Amino acid sequence: MTGIGRPVPEREEETVEGTPRPIVVGVDGSRNAQQAADWAARQARGRARPLLLVHCLTWPFENRAAALAPGAHSGAEELLRTMADELGSILPRDRIDWRVEQGDPVGALCAESATAEVLVVGARGTGGVAGLLIGSTATAVAAAARCPVVVLPDDSTVLASARRSVVVGVEGHGRDDAVLEFAFTEATARGTDLVAVHVWQDAALGPGIRTVGPLLDWAAVAADEQRSLAEAIAGWREKQPDVDVREVVVRGRTAASLVAAAMTAELLVVGRPPHGPIGRLGSATHGVLHRAGCPVAVVPVSETAG
């Protein structure tokens, strides 16, 4: 098992030593984890990628690990073997692999993220606290993983066929390429439209501007924000002309606005800001994870982006 503090290698584009990057899903036997595995299998099928199931054995008392490990390990292997067989109805069985790790699940999954295409986790596992929409493991993995992380809410309706569209949050400050690439790829794979949402609020304009708010031409400000969104996605429209894109500019709070825009979406895509302490989500991304009713993809934004 690899701890979260262990350095991980730089990611390559499509493969690791010629092998396609897998879709990795963390499973623990909970209903939410089963939903995450089903979702990940469909993701692997759509992206033509292998699927890797990862289960972590954690011990409350280290001195009990040696005595309990053999039985627990075999039980975990049986769980993963059964799950892999069931997922064979979605993805060919020879494209499904599984692994049992020991120790901290956050560390194990973050280590896997260095060579994964996408990492999928359920919002709450077997140790989840009732009343919380997202558990500590999902939050920590989304904050520290090296690849995009998809967090599935603990609700079977998130996979309902009536849901449509991929919704993506666009900052419009030159750091959106990784987020937009992921969102356009998902919209293409799903054969659905893409809703690009740019949220702004006057608080972001600074106290000096706000003091003269009544004198500002807010229509002109909104037009500037619309132009910022259009410029951010222009290149991606050209690269992916078959994707139907709808642009939405909203004046309001970022998390609440994105959650509202994604009420009937298949997937909501947001970026994880590069600034701040390592392993900490931005406030907007954190708010989206805790409030969204659909799967949320958190895409790391490079330090050098923009």
Domain edges within the chain: 15-154, 166-300
- CB-based contact 35:159 (threshold 8 Å): yes
70-86 as b/e: b if 16+ CB within 10 A: eebeeebeebbeebbee
Dump pLDDT digits (tens) for 56-83: 887 654 555 545 556 777 888 999 999 9
Q: Tell me the pLDDT of the chain averaged across its residues.
A: 82
166-300 fold: Rossmann fold (3.40.50)
Give the pLDDT of residue 70.
Answer: 65
Rounded to an integer, what distance in angstroms lies between the CA atom of residue 36 and that of residue 154? Answer: 9
Comparison of pLDDT for 129 and 255, the residue scoring more? 255
This prediction's pTM: 0.84
Same topology, domains 15-154 and 166-300? Answer is yes
Give the pLDDT of residue 26.
Answer: 94
Burial class (CB within 10 angstroms; exposed 0-12, middle 13-18, buried 19+) of 209: middle
Closest CA to 47 of 86, 14, 80: 14
Residue in the block written with tokens 């931005």: 282
Provide the angle, in degrees to the nearest 10, between the axes of the packed helices 177-190 and 31-47: 90
Please state which CATH number belongs to domain 15-154: 3.40.50.620
How confident is residue 262, by pLDDT bands cut at 50, 70 and 90?
very high
Give the pLDDT of residue 132.
Answer: 40
